[in-house]
Structure 1
C-alpha cells in the first residue's frame, strides 16, 4: 500500500492537472464561456438524475447550505450529518441504523454505486465535498437493490463554481483538522479537488465515562477529486477518485487486570497484566475510482459507469496483554478489491410512460490472513504452558453479483403517478442465491400542498461478503480459543416491505410529514463483534420483523430555519441460523422459539435543529435523542440502556475578504450517556457518547 503522503500527492496532482490552463482558457476565442459550461453541466446533471427517480420512496435531502450551518459544519463526519435525518439511530464505532436495520446502507456518488469496503471505525466519504446528501428509504424503486435499508446518494461538488477554501479547525480532545478545496473550469473541462487531515485523542468512543480516554489517538486523511469533460450539449465523460487512510488506537479502561477482570492466563512468565498498558491498533485504507459516460437526447438518456474500490484493514494486537485477558491475541490483515459496471437508461415512450432499465455487475475478491497466539489446554481446561502457540490461517474468496431491472413510470392522471417494475439479483459467493423482486410505488397529489406516497418492494440483501469469517475452526481445537460448533454460512436476507407516507404543506413556511413502514424478513441479517480483532461478522435470524412510524416538520421564515424528526421503531428476530458458534448455547436455545429484540433496536429516536442568521452572524443548534439501545435483561436483549439527549450549539461570523470564524460546542450540557454497555447478543465492549467539547475554526475563501 502507498503511504498517506504519496496518496495525497497523487490525488492533488490529479486535481491540479485537470485545472491546469484555466487562466489561459479565458484568452481562447474558441473556448466556451464559463456561463455556457455551467448551463450545459446543469442540463446534463438533470438528465442523469432523471435516470434514477425516487418515485414513491421516502426521500430527505441535506444540501451543503444546511450542512454548513449546523454545529461543526462540514468538519464533522458524514455519519453525524446523516444522524439528523428521520429514523436514524447512532451506535458505537460510528455505525448508523436506519429504520431498525443493521447497516444495510448503500452509498452512491452522483448516482453510481460505491462498493462496500473494509471499514469499521473510519469515514471514507466526507461532507466537505458534497453539494447535497440525499437519503432514500421506504419501498424503493427497482433501480435500488442489494443494500436497501437506505440509499445515501452524495451529489459531489464539481468545480462549476470556481474557487476554493482553506480551513483549520480544532479544540477539545486534542483535535486538529485542516482542509483545502479548489475547483474551476477550463474550456469544456471542470475539476474539483478536496484534501483534509485530522488528528484527535478521541478516535473511538470511550469504553468508560471520561472526557478523553487513554490510548485513543487517531490520524485520518481523506482525499477526493472530480473531473469532467463536456463533449457537446448532449454528452459528458467524468472521473471520480478518492482515498482514505486512517489509523486508530483502541482505547483502554484503566484499573483492570488480567487476573481479576480477564481470563487470567499466565504469559511468558508474567502472572498479571494491567489494562492501562495495552497497545492495540487498527489501520483502515480505501481507494476508489469511478469513470462515467453520459449521453442524452430529447427522449432518452443513458449512462455507463465503471467503478473500482480497494480496501485494507490491519489489526495489530497487544500480543501478551490480549493473551492474558482473553486467551487469544490475533493479528489480522484483510484486503478486498471490487470492480464492476453500472449501465442504466431512461426512455420517454409517450408523454405518460417513461421506461427505465439497467444492469449492474460487480466482482469482488477478498483475502484474509491471521496470526493467532493461543494456549494449549489440557483435559481440565488448564493451560499446559505459559508460552503461546502460534496459529497461521489464511483464505481467499471471490464473489460476483449480477443485478438487472426494468420499470415503467406511468402518469395515469395529472395528480397520480404509478411506478412499477421487476428486479433480478443473483449472488455467487460463499452461497449461490438469486431472487426476482417485484416493485410498485405511487405518488398522489389529491389537493394542493398534499402529497401521498406508498409502495411495496420485495428485497434481496446479500450478507456483507468481505466481513464473513473465514477462520478454520479445526485449527483452534483444544486451545484457549476453541471455536468448535455449528458454523453455517450466512444467507441472503429476503424481505417483503410496505410503506405509506403523507406530506402536507400547512403554510408557505411549514411542512409536516408522516411515514409508516412494515417489513417481514426471512434470514434477517445482523452483525456482531466476535473474536479478537474489531471486525464485525454477519449472522442471520431465520425470521425477522420490524415496523415503525416517522414524523417530520420543516419550517423556514426568512433568516430562520428549523426542522424536527421523531421516529418510533420495533425490530425483532428469531432463531439464529448462521455463525452459531459465536453465541452462548443458552441464548441460542431461547431464541429458537422466541422473538427477541435485535441488539440495535431503539424504540424512539429524534433529531432537531435550527439556524438563525442575523446579518453576517449565524446561530445554530442541533440535538439528538435516543431511548437507548438493547442490552441483556431477563431474556437475551431484553434490557434497554437509559435514554439520552445530546445538544450541540454553534455560532459563526463572516468577515471581509471571505474569512469566516466559527465556535462550536458539542454536548453543550455535558450529559454523560452510554451507547453500549457490552451486554447483548453480538455486542462487544462498552462505549460512551462524547463529553462536552469546545471547537473553533477559521476558513478563507479564495
Structure 2
C-alpha cells in the first residue's frame, strides 16, 4: 500500500500532514512505515509551531545562519559577542561587552523561546556559539511578547539530535598559549532527542590589555562551557524538553608596568606594578524545562527556568592598598527562578491572538571583606586637613535582597489587507525589589509587503526595563566613612526602572536571488535611562540612571549569499545624549554631577560610525577537497573620552582586518575532516577601546593584537 501526502495549513508557519491510502507498494520513506521519519516530521512541525507563538513581526531582524557563522573568524569556536559584532548597530566595548543601538547593555537572550534571567557575568559570554542551530538579533519596536531587556533580543534556536545527528570533536591552538578543545554530540533514540556540547578555553587574552603592548602581563584565563538538551515527543501535538548548561571562568586581571603607587602602606611606597595579582572568578548555571502543545489553531509553550550566577573578586592584598587605598574581597551572587508562558490562537485567517506571562523571583547577595586606609589629621595643617594613614584598617559590608518581576501581554496580528498586517497590543510589567514600579506599555507595528521582494515597516513601542536588583546601599557607603575610599558625594538615590518611547521604521528588499538590502532608522526617548560603569577597585559594575536620554540612529545592511559567494556589509550611525544623573550619585565627582545636571552630554558608550563587512568564497564547493577563503573588517569611529567636559571627545577610529582559510581533507575518517587557519587582526593594528577617562570608565583597554590560530575538526 502506498500513501499520498497533502499539506493543509493550520497556523501561520506550521502545517499538518494529511494521509490517505492508495493501492501500491509500501513506501519506506513514509512516516507510517518509517517511524524515524514520522518523529522528524513531528519535531519539525512543532518547531514551526513554536516560532508562530513568538513571531518577530515588525521588528528589525538580523539572522545568523550556520553558513554566516562559519564565515566569522574561528567559526562556531568564536565567542558569541564576536559573532554579534557582525550585526548592524552593534558596538564593541571593553571586557567583551557589546552595545546595541546606543544602549548600555539591556540585551536579552532566549533559548528556544525562553528568556534567560540576567546574571552577574562581566567577562565571559555564558553561552557558546556552537550551541546555535540558528540565531537572530531582534531590535527596534518589538512586539509585546518581548519585555524587560529590549535594546536587542538574541533569539537562539538550539541544535538538537534531529538537526545535528552526529559527533564532532575539534582542537584549536595557536598564539598566546591558545588552547580550545571542544565537542558536540547529537542523536535520537525513539521519541527521545538529545544533544550535548562543551568546550574549554585557555589563553593569555582573558581581559583587554590595559597597554598597547603586544603581549599582556598577567592575563591568563581558563573557561569551561557546557550545555545539554533532551527532548521527548509525547504525541504528535505534545513535546517536553529540558535544557541545562553553565559556564565557569577564572581571570587574571592584567597589569600595567612602571606605575608608581598612590599611597604608602606600612612604610612601603614603591612597588613593581607588573607583579600585582588580582583575580576574578565567574560562574553561571541555568536550566529550562518546557511543555509545548499544538492543537489545531492553538499553540502554547509553558516553561520553568532557573539561573544561578556568582562573581568573586580577589584583590592583591597589599598591592591594591598601595594603588587604590582599598583591598576588598567581594562576592556577589544571584539566584533566579520563574515561569514563562506563551500562546497563540488563530481565530480567523485575518486575526491571530497571542498572549503570555512571566513571573520571576530573584535573590541577590553581596558580601565584602577587606582593608582600607583611614584618614588621619595632617600634622601642622592649620586648615585641619586629612591625609591617608599608612596603617590599614579592616571593614565588612553585605546585603541580601529579594525581588519579584511580573509581566503580562496580549496582542492581535490583524491582516487588514492582503499586503498590510497590523500587530498591536500591550504588556504590563511590575517589579517589587529595591523599588516598586510598574508600567502599561502599548505596542503597534504596521508591515506592508506589496510583493515577495519588498517589505516596509513602521512601529512604536513603550518600554519598561527593570534595574539590577543588587545595588549599593547607604550602609555600604557609611562602612567606608573616615577612609580614603569614602566618596566625595554621599547621595545614593535608588536606581529606578527605565521608561522609554521607541520609534522604528525600515524597508527590506531582495531585488535579485541571494541579494538582500535593508535600511532602518530609530529614535528613543528615555526617562531614568539605565547605565552602568566600573567604579572603585573591584572589577564589577555599578548601575545608575540618567534622568533624560535621547538615542537616535540609522542603519544599512546588504548581503549576498548565493553559490560559492557569501558577502555582507553593515553600516550604522548613532548618537546617544543624556542629562542629569539622578541615582547612585556617590559614584561621581561633585563637579561631574553639577555639569551633567545642567547639560546634555554624549554617553560614554556612543560610537558615531560603526561598520562591519566581509566576503567568503568556496572553491570546489561540491567536491571533497572544498576550500573556503574569507575575510572581514570591523570599523569603529571610537568610544568617548573626557578632555575638558564629560565625554566631550571620541577616541581615535580603528579598523581590524581578519582572515580565514578552511580546507576539507578527505582522509576517509568518519563524516569529514576539516582544517581551519584564522588570523585575528591580520595587520596587527594597535587600537584603544577605552583610555580610562569618561563617565563610568575605570581603566584603559586596548584591542587584541595579531593572533594566529589553527583548528582541526573531525565529525563522526
Q: Normalising TM by the smaller chain, what interval?
A: over 0.9
Other-structure match for 1:252: 255
Structure having the higher Rg = 2
Shift, 1:510, TM fit? 2.0
5 Å-filtered alignment, 1:157-556, equals 157-160=159-162, 161-258=164-261, 263-264=262-263, 266-380=264-378, 382-383=386-387, 385-466=389-470, 472-483=476-487, 485-556=490-561
Contact persistence 2:374–2:391 (CA under 8 A): no
- In the alignment, the residues of structure 1 paired with residue 678 and residue 500 of structure 2 have an alpha-carbon distance, to the nearest angstrom, of 42
Q: CA deviation at 1:659?
A: 0.6
Q: Which residues in structure 2 correspond to 1:96-107 (within 5 Å)?
A: 96-107=98-109
Contact 1:199/1:218 (8 A) holds in 2: yes
Aligned partners of 1:509, 1:419: CA distance in 2, in Å? 28
Structure 1 position 384, deviation (Å):
6.6
For 1:141-198, what per-residue CA distance to the aligned partner results, in whole angstroms no more than 9, with x for missing partners?
0000110100001111011132110000021111100001101000000000011001
Structure 2 unmatched runs, 5+: 1-30, 379-384, 621-625
Residues 1:75 and 2:73 aligned together: no
Alpha-carbon distance between aligned partners in 2 of 1:469 and 1:449, rounded to the nearest angstrom: 55
Alignment check: 8 A CA contact 1:316 1:331 kept: yes
Residue matched to 1:654: 664
What CA distance in whole angstroms lies between the structure 2 residues aligned with 1:514 and 1:118?
35
- Contact 1:561-1:612 at 8 Å conserved across structures: yes
Task: Decide which structure has greater helix share.
Answer: 1
The yes-or-no answer on 1:640 pairing with 2:650 is yes
C-alpha distance in 2, partners of 1:467/1:284?
19
**Distance in 2, Cα, partners of 1:448 & 1:64:** 24
Quote how far apart the aligned CAs of 1:346 are.
0.2
Per-residue deviation, 1:358:
0.3
Kindly state the Cα deviation for residue 43 of structure 1 after the two structures are TM-superposed: 0.4
Q: Residue 711 of structure 2 aligns with which residue? A: 697
SS in 1 for 2:160: coil
Give, in whole Å, the separation in 2 of the partners of 1:72 and 1:438: 42
Provide, for residues 187-220 of structure 1, a one-character-per-residue CA deviation record: whole Å limited to 9, x for no partner: 0000000110010011011001022211000000
CA distance in 2, matches of 1:567, 1:127: 24
CA distance in 1 between counterparts of 2:513 and 2:692 reads 48
Task: Report whether the alignment pairs 1:663 with 2:677.
Answer: yes
The answer on 1:112 being equivalent to 2:114 is yes
| 1:31–1:507 Cα change, 3 Å | closer
Contact 1:118 1:466 in 2 (8 A): no
- Structure 1 position 379, deviation (Å): 3.5
Structure 1 residue 556 displacement after superposition: 2.4
- Aligned partners of 2:345, 2:618: CA distance in 1, in Å? 44
The number of equivalent residue pairs is 670
**Residues 640, 647 of structure 2: 8 Å contact kept:** yes
Matched residue SS, 2:207: coil
Q: Contact (CA 8 Å) 1:202, 1:218: kept in 2 or not?
A: yes
Distance apart, 1:463 and its partner CA: 1.2
Is the 8 Å Cα contact of residues 118 and 467 (structure 1) preserved in structure 2?
Answer: no
Secondary structure, aligned partner of 1:36: helix
| Contact 1:395–1:470 (CA under 8 A) maintained in structure 2 | no
Task: Decide whether the 8 Å contact of 1:517 with 1:547 is kept in 2.
Answer: yes
Distance in 2, matches of 1:685 and 1:185, equals 49
Instruction: Note closer, same or farther for the CA distance 1:348–1:388 as it changes in structure 2 (3 Å cut).
Output: same
Matches of 1:583 and 1:541 in 2, distance apart? Answer: 13
Matched with 2:699 is 685
How far 1:469 moved relative to its partner?
6.0
The alignment partner of 2:102 has SS state of: coil
Give the alignment's TM-score, normalised by structure 2: 0.92
Mean Cα displacement is larger for which, 467-476 or 138-147? 467-476
CA gap 1:559/1:635 in 2 versus in 1, 3 angstroms: same
Query: What value does the CA root-mean-square deviation take over the aligned residues?
Result: 1.5
Corresponding position of 2:638: 628
Q: C-alpha deviations, 1:253-311, integer Å up to 9, x for none?
A: 111120xxxx22x2233222221110000000011000000000120001100000001
Cα distance between partner residues in 1 of 2:694 and 2:447: 41
Where structure 1 has 5 or more consecutive residues not aligned to the other structure, the ranges are: 1-28
Q: For the residues of structure 1 that align with 2:344 and 2:34, how far apart are their CA atoms?
A: 29
Equivalent pair of 1:189/1:230 in contact (CA under 8 Å) = yes
Give 1:464 shift: 2.1
Which is worse superposed, 91-100 or 601-610?
Answer: 601-610
- Partner of 1:178: helix, strand, or coil? strand
Write the distance in 2 (CA, Å) between the matches of 1:30 and 1:365. Answer: 50
> In 2, distance between residues paired with 1:42 and 1:513?
29
CA distance in 2, matches of 1:325, 1:401: 40
Cα deviation per residue 1:569-626 (whole Å; 9 max; x = unaligned)?
0101000000101111111111111100000000010111111100100111111110
Distance 1:175 1:523 in 2: 42
Q: Which residue of 1 aligns with 2:59?
A: 57
1:533-582: CA deviations, max 9, x gaps?
11011101100001000001011231101010000001010000001011
Contact residue 401 and residue 469 of structure 2 kept, 8 A: no
**TM-score after normalising by structure 1:** 0.94
Q: Report the 3-state secondary structure (helix = DSSP H, G, I; strand = E; otherwise coil) of the residue aligned with 1:224.
A: strand
1:143 equivalent among 124, 129, 145: 145
Distance 1:692 1:268, change over 3 A: same
Conservation of the 8 A alpha-carbon contact between 2:358 and 2:408? yes
Matched with 2:123 is: 121
Post-superposition CA distance 1:43-75 (Å, at most 9, x none): 000011111011111001101222123221111
Change beyond 3 A, Cα 1:409–1:468 = farther
**Alpha-carbon distance in 2 for matches of 1:543, 1:70:** 38
In structure 2, distance between residues paired with 1:32 and 1:91: 52
Higher deviation after alignment, 218-227 or 471-480: 471-480
Any conservation in 2 of the 1:367–1:397 contact (CA below 8 Å)? yes
Is residue 561 of structure 1 aligned with residue 566 of structure 2?
Answer: yes
**Corresponding residue to 2:49 among 47, 50, 64:** 47
Structure 1 CA distance, aligned partners of 2:476 and 2:563?
63
Query: CA contact under 8 A between 2:571 and 2:611: conserved in structure 1?
Result: yes
> Secondary structure of 2:450's partner?
coil
Give the conservation status (yes or no) of the 8 Å contact 1:63–1:132.
yes
CA distance in 2, matches of 1:667, 1:325: 33
SS of the residue aligned with 1:146?
coil
SS at match of 1:350: coil
Deviations 1:454-508 (A, max 9, x none): 1000000111224656762111111111135101111111000000000112222
Instruction: Report the secondary structure of 1:227's partner residue.
Output: strand
For residues 32 and 48 of structure 2, what CA distance do their matches in structure 1 show? 26
